[in-house]
Structure 1
Amino acid sequence: MATLTTSSKRPYHIIVFGASGFTGQFVVEEVTRTCNEGPGGTFQWAVAGRNRDRLEKTLLQAADALCKPELKCVEVIVTDAAETEPLAIMCKQGVIVLNCVGPYRFYGETVMKACIENVAHCIDICGEP
């Protein structure tokens, strides 16, 4: 079985980009359910999107719904799919970017390009054409 590792250059195994949207909220809960490391575990992840308050609210709601208070400690990255430099900075921090930002026809190529240029794996799951 392959092991997912981070380095000092990539502090996060996974970044959920667009975490406060419909698909992103679902993904946050699923990442929480399947990556059951608990406090002091080695799995590191973050949520990302345009609005810090909405991202923090998403984490709080998931923490309450799943009885996982440690979600309040998940890192928040503020960035926008329409801004090249902040998007590149985000991509440099993760091994994998789970892109939940949609619709794909408007933002998918931009996110994919930023991931490729910054050597991050990208999985697009925005659910919109």
Structure 2
Amino acid sequence: MGTEGDDVRVIAGRYRLEARLGRGGMGIVWRATDRLLGRRVAVKELVQDDAVSAEQARARRDRTLREARAVAQLSHPHIIVVHDVVEEDERPYIVMELIEGGSLADRIAQRGPIDPREAARIGAD
């Protein structure tokens, strides 16, 4: 799986995973560098779940790839750009535009709940 040691890996010979940005139910998002183009990107790694069958794991992988293909077809200022999808050790990675900034959870922790008007504005965007 990749190269360059325990904390930093390179996948697909190109994307250097440098720092974990977050983790959800389906994957881990990394801050990374595209070494070929010299730009910062976000890379979503689909986490393998040993509790599911091989068939369920394949279905999950296929769903992730379908979603990545669908998003890659979209172009809108409020939708993250998908640059690439790669596989390493039979695990898909989605390479996306990196947006610097905090999460919604960070925002709520710092300033409290969002009022309905602000929530509506965010939703409309």
- Provide TM-score, normalisation by structure 2: 0.29
Going by fraction, where is helix more abundant, 1 or 2? 1
Bigger-Rg structure (1/2): 2
Going by fraction, where is strand more abundant, 1 or 2? 2
- Provide TM-score, normalisation by structure 1: 0.28
